[in-house]
Amino acid sequence: MKKIKQLALVLLASLLLASGAQAATGGIAWDKAPNKTNDLPALQNGAKLFVNYCLNCHSAAYMRYNRLKDIGLTEQQIKDNLLFATDKVGETMKASIDPKQAKDWFGGNPPDLTVIARSRAGPQGSGADYLYTYLRTYYRDDTKATGWNNLAFPGVAMPHVLWEMQGVREPQFETQSSHGQDVQVFKGWKQVSPGTLTPLEFDYAIADLVAYLQWMGEPAQNTRVRIGVWVLLFLGIFSFVAWRLNASFWKNVK
């Protein structure tokens, strides 16, 4: 009887995880995010956007401000431009929002974003692809408490904090017949009111923010890739030398 209960609990947990994954990966197809993890100016701009627009509610509790020196910022630049929630550069990026208020406003505490780009990967692409699509597909929805909805994450509780930059848009759908049924197919966007950035400039800004979130999930990833390339080159050269030495040692053996 005990084993049956344990099995039932495992199955229930699996169903809950599956439903959560569907919620996080539902909606439209994901766009491919530009790869900017080696672009220092893009990462610096992404860090600025993260601190100004994301850190108000979301923490990055496993990321320290002084690690931003790895993307070319000096300690003084960090203090002057990015250090709003604490006084010490060695502190972690913790949000200043009250957890109790966040739960009342959004129905739960906003998730930590330290490894968000690594945790949102799915069948449609990488976590960066998901974030790049998600942050660019908000639209007005008066039926929601926040006044916003999202095509990549329908029913999302998070409001569109970047709406002033993007402006207000409406998704456009077309009715198509599929297997004898009419379905609504997303066709594009209609700009209702302009933002402070053009659509292209906004896409670039989101690409910078996503690149920073991707870098923050593993700050050593570029170093790891560089070391990996050198290791593969060494192994290739060593294999060639070993092959020629082996041929030389055995050439007179019949």
Q: Is 178 left (phi over 0), alpha (psi -120 to 50) or beta?
A: beta
Per-residue pLDDT at 25: 43
Per-residue pLDDT at 1: 45
175 forms beta bridges with: 184
How far is 85 from 106, CA to CA, in rounded Å? 21
Ranges of residues in the chain whose predicted pLDDT is under 50: 1-25
* DSSP string for residues in 132-175: HHHTT-EEE-TTSTTSEEESSSTT--S--TTHHHHEEEEEEEEE
Per-residue pLDDT at 248: 87
Per-residue pLDDT at 254: 63
- Sorted by where each starts, the structural domains of the chain and their CATH numbers stand as 32-235 (1.10.760.10)
